[in-house]
A and B are shown apart, each in its own frame.
Chain A
Amino acid sequence: MKRAHWFSILAVAAASVLASTAAQTQTIKEVPREKTAIFENIEGRVAIPNNMNPYIAGQYLDWGVWQGVYESLFIFNLETGQLMPWLAESGTYNTGATEVTIRLRDGVTWSDGVPFTADDVVFTIDMLKKNTGLQYAADMSEWVDAATASDPHTVLIKLKKPNPRFLLNFFGVRIWDTVLIAPKHIWEKVDPMTFTNFDLEKGLPVGTGPYRMVRSSETETVFDRRDDWWGAKTGFHPLPEPERLIWIAVGGEDIRAAKLANNELDAAWVLSRSSFEVAKKKNPKVVGWYEELPYAYLDPCPRELFFNTEAAPFSDPKVRRAISTAINREQIAQIGYEGMTEPAESMFPTYAPLKAYLDRNKKLFEEFPVAHHDLKKTEELMTAAGFKKDAEGIWVGADAKRVSLPIISRSGETDQLKFGPILVAQLKKAGFDASFKPIEDVTYYSDVSSGKAPAHLGSVCGSVQDPYTTFSYLHSRWYAPTGQPVPGPVATRFRNAEFDALIDKMGGLSADDPSFNQLADQALAIFNRELPVVPLVQARLLTPFNETYWTGWPSAKNNYVHPGHWWVSGNLIILELKPAKAQ
């Protein structure tokens, strides 16, 4: 075949590839870099760029849809410990917390101009209750008896049982996400299970936030500011400064650090201390929560060692407590976290109200020293449990079998990958035949849920204000026999009738109730004695910001909100940004 024909074939092939890739991208106007804020998509990639349905189970729209397009009724601020009303003006409970009245803010409108009313809230709750496959469907069915709109700005929700945390847990962005309200005038015409909620020409997704989506691809989502945002029109809050927001897929930590250094990113996902210091050295405008060590922010999900409490010998609380006292948490914090965190003696993040709870129970920790490194105590407990050491110093049971402790963790948790081997070394020194294996999500979650893994590293994202939520994860209603998947958030298979009774009572009381503290203290006593979960370290996340183009990022000195820019409450950060060059 002639050369010219080969070249023309190649040219057509190349043009076809270019055309098909260009066809997938959406053409938008150019906006200068100094008017654009670029965030990292912490998911790494938008799996389905043409589906923005926030109710699909497991769909996390934290690549800008949550932060720019939607807004929550309430926002829990980890820094102030307050549940801030946002789209709502107030939320009140009746005595007994069996009814919730939400008063909506005047003047809120959807991005298509339709007013946001109580009918939207009622519709959303009813839609979730009717469609069992949707996220939060089971929660609304579990708790809500009926939701009604007494007027366009008032919603009355009758609960099936007392729940003083209903607004916090489901409408308050307690951790990461929340139940987002759907525009009734759009969603009542569609099947919520299959509706994609995406059509840029028609303005979908429709939300109340100050931004609208203009581009969505696997590696990039782009949002342009809506100058008709209700917040600015009503005087609630000025328009945000960035005219454009972009979320991009970044890849690994190396690329993250490179992009920060090169001013290609303004807000990033987690960096290790060494990567942060390298990036900061190249670009001094890269900042953390603290200006000095530990740099990082206290995350609400402390790291723990979990057991399948049905799997011998970890079914014996003495063995679990022995393992706990064998661990040197200070060493894990120094080596595994490069000095950026501190030991944890409970499952709770040490935010002010929870710290006060733990401080009040100091005597409990003296009686059951959960986080105290004491190899003699380990020996004492293991001997009392009927174990002795073999010739190589490894604990063996009455059946002469070694106490094997295989620990797994999810391979995506970089901090756990670092401290896992340290933990194993400590446990081996204490006489346990320990091993550590990081594995991929699918195997990890399967093995944890089924109980195949007798021990695993993980975290609990529960309480932020009072101990109820985290403790409720250990209630035996989540129990399933080993071999069957646990339907709840914590797969310890822990069962204690006394503990259950305390949790059941706590669930119906707010933390302000005088009897709540007593119940919580009793629950902590049982937890420390039984120790189904061994607390390890507080989680500190170093999520850096770049002040080259934008300032106003949250920090320890400017702590108007916590730095989780991937949360639904990330809108609070965007609203505070100011152009760096204007200052």
Chain B
Amino acid sequence: MLRSYVVKRISIFFITVFVAVTINFIVIHITPQNPVAVLMGRLAARGAMVENGAQLLKFYTERFGLDQPLYVQYLMYLRNLLLHGDLGYSLAYFPAKVSAVVLPAIPWTLGLLFFANLVAAIVGNILGALAVWGRAPRLFTWVTYGFMSLAAIPFYLLALILLYLFAFLWPVLPSSGAFTPGSSRAFDLATSFEFIRHATLPVLSVALGLIGFWALSMRGAMASVMGEDYLTYARVKGLREPTIFFRYGMRNAMLPQVTAFAIDLGRLVSGQVLVELIFSYPGLGLVLYNALRTGDYFVIQGVVLFIIISVALAMLLLDLIYPLLDPRIRTASAI
């Protein structure tokens, strides 16, 4: 029975990805813009002599298959993707491949997403749990309210505020980039420290906006756990308060948080784009922004494909992990 659960979840994953990829392709290609004309326009706008521009137009239109019917372009795209893992060439930066544009940016986006969510999850969940824990000081409740207010502020606005405060008014942190310009970047502690310094403001821009969300939902989940018999039993057994709080209280309240994280992943990735732009962080945000501006269909497809697969994969993994985390689901599946 557990096997059928796994097979079903994996099948849903593949169907979801296929449908999303198809919609992604169609939506981008039915826009009336001509990306090759964009290239010509950019050349002309910079004073380039564009003699016989028609020759360039024709060359690139044919080279990218844009003169083919839409269904032919779709089938070619699927064939290259499924058989060769080939996302095609970048329209704006030909002959660079889409993978060459997108792949280097992924670790930066994942890193920012990972650390921002880690900070937000740890701080938010603990704060939310403490907000309803009878033995915790009332201060934690007020701090939680403060973070809930920050949750209403968009990430990019938080980014601008933090930038103004810590990079301009009191310049203690760098304003952009992933490293100090010209630094050695040897794989050593100094580089790690530099990396952390530069990541601080981008991570905080996302984390501060998320802590309130984690705290609020954890507070609700924790409140539902508070009256459970096993907590009373744990106290009767004489376990220490922190042990009861973390191992019996928070652990049981965490399960819905895991699902909420997966659902929110898509929103997080899209919200992070602007943060990466503001801080010139070399992640997918900058890639997607430039691709949208230049009408680079294939790079846009590549970035959105990555987002689709990431979110779908995250939900699949969580679906598969859930029975391991919660024995009740494992038992229900077996019945």
Chain A complexes with chain B: yes
A residues contacting B by CB (< 8 A) are 10, 13-14, 17-22, 24-31, 36, 38, 44-45, 47-51, 56-60, 132-133, 135-139, 141-143, 169-170, 174-177, 193-194, 215, 217-220, 222, 244, 246, 248-252, 254-255, 257-259, 261-262, 264, 300-301, 412, 440-446, 448-450, 452, 458-459, 461-462, 478, 485-490
Interface members, chain B 173-202 (any A CB < 8 Å) = 174-179, 181-187, 191-192, 195
CB contacts (< 8 Å) of B191 on chain A: these are 22
Bound complex: CA A485 to CA B175 (Å): 41
Bound complex: CA A58 to CA B43 (Å): 6
Proximity string of chain B (80-107) to chain A, C-beta cutoff 8 Å, 1 when within and 0 when not:
0000000000101111100011001101
Proximity string of chain B (36-61) to chain A, C-beta cutoff 8 Å, 1 when within and 0 when not:
11111111111111111111110110
Given A25-B185, A443-B33, A170 contacting B49 (CB threshold 8 A): yes
Interface members, chain B 15-45 (any A CB < 8 Å) = 32-45
Contact A31 B182 (CB under 8 A): yes
CB contacts (< 8 Å) of B43 on chain A: these are 57-58, 135, 489
Task: Give the nearest-CB partner of A143 in chain B.
Answer: B51
CB contacts (< 8 Å) of B63 on chain A: these are 133
Given contacts A51-B96, A444-B41, 5 further A-B pairs with CB under 8 A are: A44-B280, A56-B94, A133-B56, A254-B163, A485-B40
Given A141-B52, A174-B47, A264-B175, A58 contacting B96 (CB threshold 8 A): no
CB contacts (< 8 Å) of B59 on chain A: these are 132-133
CB contacts (< 8 Å) of A29 on chain B: these are 184
Contact A459 B50 (CB under 8 A): no
Given A259-B175, A442-B38, A449-B40, A488 contacting B182 (CB threshold 8 A): no
| Cβ contact of A21, chosen from B37, B107, B277, cutoff 8 A | B107
For the complex, is B322 an interface residue (Cβ under 8 Å from A)? no
CB contacts (< 8 Å) of B195 on chain A: these are 18, 21
| Cβ contact of B100, chosen from A50, A222, A478, cutoff 8 A | A50
Contact A301 B40 (CB under 8 A): no
Bound complex: CA A141 to CA B184 (Å): 45
CB B334 to nearest CB in A, in angstroms, measures 21
Contact B53 A442 (CB under 8 A): no
Contact B53 A20 (CB under 8 A): no
CB contacts (< 8 Å) of A250 on chain B: these are 176, 280
CB B175 to nearest CB in A, in angstroms, measures 5
B residues contacting A by CB (< 8 A) are 32-57, 59-60, 63, 90, 92-96, 100-101, 104-105, 107-108, 110-111, 114-115, 118, 160, 163-164, 167-168, 171, 174-179, 181-187, 191-192, 195, 277-282, 286, 290, 292-295
Task: Give the nearest-CB partner of B34 in chain A.
Answer: A446
Contact B47 A139 (CB under 8 A): no
Contact A441 B293 (CB under 8 A): yes
CB contacts (< 8 Å) of A49 on chain B: these are 104
CB B4 to nearest CB in A, in angstroms, measures 25
| Cβ contact of B47, chosen from A27, A175, A488, cutoff 8 A | A175
CB A180 to nearest CB in B, in angstroms, measures 13
18 A–B pairs (Cβ distance < 8 Å), ordered by A: A28-B182, A30-B183, A47-B90, A47-B290, A50-B100, A132-B59, A137-B56, A138-B53, A139-B52, A175-B46, A220-B182, A248-B177, A258-B171, A264-B174, A446-B35, A461-B45, A487-B55, A487-B56
CB contacts (< 8 Å) of A452 on chain B: these are 32
Contact B187 A22 (CB under 8 A): yes
| Cβ contact of A261, chosen from B40, B168, B179, cutoff 8 A | B168
A-B contact count (CB 8 A): 257
Task: Give the nearest-CB partner of A15 in chain B.
Answer: B192
CB A61 to nearest CB in B, in angstroms, measures 12
Bound complex: CA A483 to CA B245 (Å): 68
CB contacts (< 8 Å) of B278 on chain A: these are 251-252, 255
| Cβ contact of B182, chosen from A141, A170, A222, cutoff 8 A | A222
CB A349 to nearest CB in B, in angstroms, measures 11
Contact A132 B55 (CB under 8 A): yes
Contact A441 B286 (CB under 8 A): no
> Quick one: which of B50, B55, B94 has the most chain A CB within 10 A?
B50
> Quick one: which of A133, A222, A301 has the most chain B CB within 10 A?
A133
Given A244-B182, A450-B37, A488 contacting B50 (CB threshold 8 A): yes
Contact B292 A262 (CB under 8 A): no
Bound complex: CA A59 to CA B92 (Å): 8
| Cβ contact of B282, chosen from A45, A246, A487, A490, cutoff 8 A | A45
Given A48-B100, A255-B175, A17 contacting B111 (CB threshold 8 A): yes
Contact B177 A249 (CB under 8 A): yes
Bound complex: CA A28 to CA B57 (Å): 41
| Cβ contact of B175, chosen from A13, A50, A51, A262, cutoff 8 A | A262
> Quick one: which of A14, A57, A137, A301 has the most chain B CB within 10 A?
A57
Task: Give the nearest-CB partner of B187 in chain A.
Answer: A22
Task: Give the nearest-CB partner of B41 in chain A.
Answer: A445
CB B191 to nearest CB in A, in angstroms, measures 7
Contact A255 B104 (CB under 8 A): no
CB contacts (< 8 Å) of B184 on chain A: these are 27-30
Task: Give the nearest-CB partner of A221 in chain B.
Answer: B181
Bound complex: CA A300 to CA B45 (Å): 12
Top 8 A-B residue pairs of the complex, sorted by shortest distance between their CB atoms: A442-B295, A175-B47, A445-B41, A461-B47, A489-B44, A487-B53, A138-B52, A487-B54
Bound complex: CA A170 to CA B49 (Å): 8
CB A167 to nearest CB in B, in angstroms, measures 13
| Cβ contact of A445, chosen from B37, B179, B186, cutoff 8 A | B37
Contact A21 B292 (CB under 8 A): no
CB contacts (< 8 Å) of B39 on chain A: these are 57-58
> Quick one: which of B42, B56, B174, B292 has the most chain A CB within 10 A?
B56
| Cβ contact of B293, chosen from A60, A442, A462, A478, cutoff 8 A | A442
Given A57-B39, A218-B104, A21 contacting B178 (CB threshold 8 A): yes
Bound complex: CA A450 to CA B105 (Å): 34
Given A21-B178, A44-B290, A45-B286, A459 contacting B45 (CB threshold 8 A): yes
CB contacts (< 8 Å) of A27 on chain B: these are 184-187
CB contacts (< 8 Å) of B52 on chain A: these are 138-139, 141-142, 487
CB contacts (< 8 Å) of B187 on chain A: these are 19, 22, 27
| Cβ contact of A446, chosen from B37, B57, B100, B282, cutoff 8 A | B37
CB contacts (< 8 Å) of A10 on chain B: these are 118
Task: Give the nearest-CB partner of B107 in chain A.
Answer: A20
Bound complex: CA A177 to CA B110 (Å): 37
Contact B96 A135 (CB under 8 A): no
CB A25 to nearest CB in B, in angstroms, measures 4
Bound complex: CA A443 to CA B34 (Å): 8
Contact B282 A219 (CB under 8 A): yes
Given A30-B183, A47-B93, A441-B294, A448 contacting B49 (CB threshold 8 A): no
Contact B42 A441 (CB under 8 A): yes
Task: Give the nearest-CB partner of B190 in chain A.
Answer: A30
Given A24-B104, A193-B95, A219 contacting B280 (CB threshold 8 A): yes
Contact B47 A462 (CB under 8 A): yes
